[in-house]
Structure 1
């Protein structure tokens, strides 16, 4: 499958026909915009609210941006507009900035063949990788995330617990254990009926970095995704992880940049 065909498949399955990311969340298509709304009860910073896909042009972009600002303001929550390098119009990013959004770090959309990555079963000596399948495991995975990234991960805890309560979780957390203690955690999203599984949240304690833990977690999650029938893995990679992933066989499809609109920013911007 060539680059353009694979990108078109990604846009169709993961953006235009995007699934909700968990119980209670929903996806809505309004005109030429597809948006994701977090489950009721998720606080600011917990569930994800944002624009997944848009098909705009010079004549429709500003009105669509204003409409989404009004909508999310009515929900009293901030949201994110994910802008991909191939999105239209070409100045969409500048229009979002003019409307009060703030740009986060650019990431590279990388993809790889799931089964090729699943074939590697190696792991660093003394390391055991396992799926999280109970509340105790969720607590360990969240603890690692908070230690590595230095921020509260209670929203992630709620999401993972809600997933465990479903018959077929679409998010699976993974733990790397050494001597009975967690040293890394990550997760894999497994949307039903999609070719693409997503890798997210890889975090490793400082003393275990540079020892192949991240690579081992990629291969382990690839095996989970392959068992669920996903053909491809996708990652939104920062520059720090992109070289490692490309050495493992990932290739670039596009770029993606989150443009964040914070709660209350509309009033500040208009003032």
Structure 2
């Protein structure tokens, strides 16, 4: 595509993103969902999550009051230890991040929202000798493989991953989630999830990470292609991902487009 065509396509995809992937679509599996003006607030056990399509012209003191009400909503639930207010780089008002910070929320690292046609990413990618791909969530007891997958994610990202978190995702989203791994000699060296967004044309690719000694050999890209093929088989047209600085270039070379950024703002109970 020309630069102009790429810009037009990115704008079209951003409209699809705002229309299909925000509000209720982000709260699948929530134990409770409530509304406050433009906000959708969900709870997941000890965690809360706040989303919206737009803030409906909330600015200044009215926005401060909306933030305060949201903090109070979660703070008065003893079981809640933290909540995430998910912001996007193209949203208004532009001072929302500053106001969230002033109310005691802290920003995590921003990520790039990548979108595109699943068919672009579905072409098979050659794997190094001895490496195979496998879906691990369809077994009668997936926990042994979930433990191995979580250990590989921990090595890939350098932060703890809990197999029980993966098991909870399977329970919460049931037949809407797939977990894939790349293996060699019985060792998991790369993992990734596919999550179908019910009622939309989208599927998400999440949690992709390759252990350090196997990077640069096309394994992550092959796992993306496998998930794209599965998404297409399940009727999804588009793929989306909130991408780190490491995965974004791979997905962009594969054909997805960066359309905005997203930054989580986190409130934690003191």
Structure 1 203/3 Cα, relative in aligned 2: closer, same or farther at 3 Å?
closer
| C-alpha separation in 2, matches of 1:26 and 1:189 | 20
Q: Is 2:2 aligned against 1:3?
A: no
| C-alpha separation in 1, matches of 2:25 and 2:33 | 7
Correspondence for 1:65: 67
SS of 1:18's partner is helix
Which of the residues 106, 109, 114 maps onto 1:105?
109
Correspondence for 1:18: 25
Q: Is 2:131 aligned against 1:127?
A: yes
Correspondence for 1:79: 83
Shift of 1:121: 4.6
Q: Is 2:178 aligned against 1:172?
A: yes
SS of 1:9's partner is helix
Shift of 1:83: 0.9
Query: Contact 2:181–2:191 (CA<8 Å) still a contact in 1?
Result: yes
Q: Is 2:245 aligned against 1:246?
A: no
| C-alpha separation in 1, matches of 2:183 and 2:249 | 25
Correspondence for 2:42: 36
- TM-superposition CA deviations, 1:206-264 (whole Å, max 9, x none): 11111111111111111121111111111111222221111110101111111111122
* Aligned pairs (5 A) from 1:82-161: 82-133=86-137, 134-154=142-162, 157-161=163-167
Which runs of 5 or more residues in structure 1 are unaligned?
A: 265-271
Correspondence for 1:203: 209
Q: Is 2:263 aligned against 1:257?
A: yes
Shift of 1:85: 1.1
Query: Contact 2:126–2:218 (CA<8 Å) still a contact in 1?
Result: no
Shift of 1:165: 5.3
How many residues align structurally?
Answer: 254
TM-score, normalised by the number of residues in structure 1:
0.85
| C-alpha separation in 2, matches of 1:166 and 1:106 | 26
| C-alpha separation in 1, matches of 2:13 and 2:208 | 25
| C-alpha separation in 1, matches of 2:108 and 2:169 | 28
Which of the residues 226, 232, 240 maps onto 2:232?
226
| C-alpha separation in 1, matches of 2:58 and 2:109 | 24
SS of 2:226's partner is helix
SS of 1:260's partner is strand
Query: Contact 2:59–2:93 (CA<8 Å) still a contact in 1?
Result: yes
Aligned Cα RMSD in Å? 2.2
Query: Contact 1:61–1:89 (CA<8 Å) still a contact in 2?
Result: no
Which runs of 5 or more residues in structure 2 are unaligned?
A: 1-7
| C-alpha separation in 2, matches of 1:164 and 1:10 | 24
| C-alpha separation in 2, matches of 1:84 and 1:163 | 24
